[in-house]
Amino acid sequence: MRTLLEPARIWERAEAEKRVAEVLDDAKGGRLQRVSDADGVFEIKYTQNSPKEPAGRVLSRGGPDTR
């Protein structure tokens, strides 16, 4: 896996639109993606969801959930 310390990959918007799967896959692989257009720059970074607690564990505590 790459780290965010690696330089961002820079795309022109038209090219990024044609290769959106590659842009997203590279972001998921850990490399920041920058897509520039005439008005500015989009920065795309993948953030993984935190694991969910199993429902059985939540229900076994009983009472209201205080979190």
- List of domains in the chain: 1-47 (3.40.1620)
pLDDT of residue 58: 78
pTM of the predicted structure, to 2 decimals? 0.67
Q: pLDDT digits over 3-44, tens only?
A: 556 789 999 999 999 999 999 999 999 999 999 999 999 999
In the predicted model, is pLDDT for residue 53 greater than 60?
Answer: yes
Q: Give the residue, 17 or 52, on which the prediction is more confident.
A: 17
- Residue 47 has a CB neighbour count (10 Å cut-off) of 7
Q: What whole-number distance in Å separates Cα of residue 25 and Cα of residue 33?
A: 10
Instruction: Specify the DSSP class assigned to residue 19.
Output: T
